[in-house]
A and B are shown apart, each in its own frame.
Chain A
Amino acid sequence: MNEPVDVLIIGSGASGAAVAWSLAETKMRILCLEQGDWVKPTDYPSNGRDWEARLFADFAINPNRRARPTDYPINDSNSPIKVVNFNGVGGGTVMYTAHFPRLHPSDFRTRTLDGVGEDWPVDYATLEPFFAENDRMMGVSGLAGDPAYPLHHPPMPPLPLGKSGARFGAAMNRLGWHWWPSDSTIATTDYEGRGRCINLGHCTPGCAQGAKASTDITYWPHAIRAGVELRTRCRVREITTNEHGMASGAIYYDAEGREQFQAAEMVIVACNGVGTPRLLLNSASARSPDGLANSSGLVGKNLMFHPYAHVYGYVDQPLDGNHGPPLCLWSQEFYETDTARDFARGYTFQFGRGYGSIMEAINSTAAGRLPWGADHHDVYRRLLNHRIGLSAICEDLPEEHNRVTLDPDLKDSHGIPAPKIDYTLSANSLKMMDHGIANAKRILETAGATDIGVESPILNGGWHLLGTARMGNDPQRSVVNGWGRSHDVKNLFIVDGSIWVTSGGVNPTSTIQALAMYVADQIKQRLSAATLFD
């Protein structure tokens, strides 16, 4: 029998860790259940000679390919973009590129400004102090003064431009287009016990140096020292409710596969935009037959991914290859709506470096660029370390038919129904991607690249899982209110990307965490006023 807790957090990733740390000061008894394991720095691929190969094995970004015991399967056959994630302490922050832009002020008011999507019940100014606190906790490198953003001050200097970044910068200057060193959670100086980046270059599947911020090495050590309990290998099956319609706890399977019940006064869900609707739908009961917190019918709907259009080419001089963090620059030149275009909203360009030897070979073979036979070696030598590429990360507007449901047949290793994704690219997204591809080609040509290739959308590009339990003031049009509390269940909160109203066109982790800290702050204020469950 588990002792009841005051706060039960489900999921230890970007948002779960931030909310756990923020609430720790209340001295409530806080427990986090995480279905995955801790990952040690020595586990990461960059420790071994098989570092690239493991990106196709136990560190594959697609959970269906990775298929660790701690993963759950996802039926993504009806989506041109496949879900990618990581299940473990730190969640997706273990396996991200650490690109850390914030949403822009306009992103919170797309209905008012552009007549599309919905306005959020919060705004940039409200989140600004939480962005800053999160930047400090995660450790952000960057450069103050970007004219594309309200002024903010990253605590560490930016990542090096390298040969690739300098070439892109010069090309953007020739075109007269905006570019700026990215905010990144890769430490460029020693920071809070983390070593500075030494350019391992294989950042996405975990950083052996610890230079890349993942919440297992940022928030969690602080939260645990402050008294939060983190229990791993615990997969939650459902959230339970009592006769008053309040959340009473959760049923989960422990590391030995035993069914357990954990009672809690308050439940906070932080399972990402696919895991959260899956859990709420699996928590259906006689009181809520369509799923918990789903009186609006919107749980699982409005899934947004950010379609990526990736464009690349080859230059005549060797560049950085993969010898550095893959992303170091962004451009917001095409971020805002321009009525002269045939689509609403816009996109960020994120500029990349090259690939390692194996990734170059595999991708170039798949693209038909690298032949079999006698010419193989000569062609390969012209490709390796000569690649330069960028991606348009496109705003994905909410559409209810893009959704997460429960697969009628597919189940995880505990027999829990798996999520099913139904997703199509909208006409607006397709036009935006075409615009991004055309401009990316101009940039590459200006940078001296030839032999240009396109991957659009990036197949395994479903990093950003947003919108499936949106926030809002109208209970009929949203799942949680303006501070993350379920409209239906007054001691149930959601803090991950599923509460996003629109997607913006940037990597979401910074804003997910700022939002989670904001929700935690609202909880603390209402605890003080004894109005939390009113």
Chain B
Amino acid sequence: MPDQTLTSGEAADLRCLAALMIPASARHGVPGADEATIFADILASLERDFADVRKALAQLATLSGGRFADLAPDRCAPVAADFKAAGGAPLAALNRVVLLCYYRDDRVMRSLNQEPRPPFPKGHDLEQGDWSLLDRIRERKPFWRAAP
């Protein structure tokens, strides 16, 4: 199994970028994606995306002319915008890992009025809906096409 650990420099860049992607919000009462618990989950969840994330971070470092995390604060946003505009599969993988860790955090889920639990075994309620809507279709004559 190859080593799947980011260097400290790469991890710092990723954390800095995660904070820009999803910043904390006092209004919504949620942490940012760079918050310690969420970021630890991100680092532990790279798995199949590790190579692409590393590639994306290399692109980010190139655009930054060095470590993204070392840029002056007013430079971070424009470099991140250029990075995002370039797109590509590595960026998609980086986005995916950040989002899938952020949107399973208990605090985030509660802020969205979502129960922080797995679907099973409790399941969910689903209303039947108005079946009288179907009355009009019930009155329609069969229209399937007969075949010889």
Contact = CB atoms under 8 A, between A and B. Distances in A.
Interface stretch (A284-292, A373-381, A471-479, A482-490): A373-381
Contact of B134 (A53, A67, A169, A202): A169
Interface centre among B92, B95, B120, B128 (most CB of A within 10 A): B120
A69 interface: no
A254 interface: no
Interface in A138-190: 143, 145, 147-150, 160-163, 165-166, 169-170, 173, 178-181
A78 interface: no
Given A358-B104, A362-B95, A105 B145 contact: yes
The SS class assigned to the B binding surface is loop
A530 interface: no
B20 A161 contact: no
Contact of A123 (B27, B114, B147): B147
Contact of B125 (A105, A199, A362): A199
Interface string A14-51: 00000000000000000000000000000010111111
A200 B145 contact: no
Interface in B83-122: 84, 92, 95-96, 99-104, 109, 112, 114, 116-122
A200 B104 contact: no
Contact of B133 (A51, A170, A324, A358): A170
A106 interface: yes
B103 A361 contact: yes
Contacts, number: 171
Interface string B64-96: 000000000000010010001000000010011
A384 interface: yes
A323 interface: yes
Nearest to A159: B126
Interface string A176-214: 001111000000000000000011111000001100000
A108 B3 CA distance: 54
Interface residues of A, number: 67
A410 to B, nearest CB: 18
Contacts of B21: 372-373, 376
A92 to B, nearest CB: 21
Given A56-B100, A208-B121, A109 B129 contact: no
Contact of A57 (B22, B48, B77, B95): B48
Contact of B118 (A46, A65, A105, A112): A46
Contact of B126 (A123, A160, A170): A160
A180 B137 contact: yes
B46 to A, nearest CB: 11
B25 interface: yes
A51 B128 contact: no
B140 A209 contact: no
A323 B129 contact: no
B127 A147 contact: no
Contact of B129 (A162, A173, A208): A162
A49 B117 contact: yes
A318 B54 CA distance: 38
B4 interface: no
A113 B147 contact: yes
Given A49-B104, A323-B125, A357-B109, A147 B120 contact: no
Residue from B25, B100, B148 having most chain A Cβ neighbours under 10 A: B100
Given A106-B145, A374-B23, A201 B124 contact: yes
Contacts of B126: 160, 162, 199, 320, 323-324
Interface of A: 44, 46-53, 56-57, 60, 65, 67, 104-106, 108-109, 112-113, 123-124, 143, 145, 147-150, 160-163, 165-166, 169-170, 173, 178-181, 198-202, 208-209, 320, 323-324, 332, 336, 357-358, 361-362, 365-366, 372-374, 376-377, 381, 384
17 contacts: A46-B119, A47-B118, A47-B120, A48-B118, A105-B147, A150-B142, A166-B130, A179-B137, A199-B123, A208-B120, A320-B126, A324-B126, A373-B21, A374-B25, A377-B25, A377-B27, A381-B28
Given A160-B127, A372-B80, 19 more contacts: A57-B48, A60-B48, A104-B144, A106-B146, A112-B147, A150-B144, A161-B128, A161-B130, A161-B131, A161-B133, A178-B137, A178-B140, A200-B124, A208-B119, A323-B125, A336-B145, A358-B99, A374-B25, A376-B22
The 8 lowest CB-CB distance pairs between A and B, nearest first, are A161-B129, A198-B123, A323-B124, A166-B129, A200-B119, A208-B120, A324-B126, A109-B147
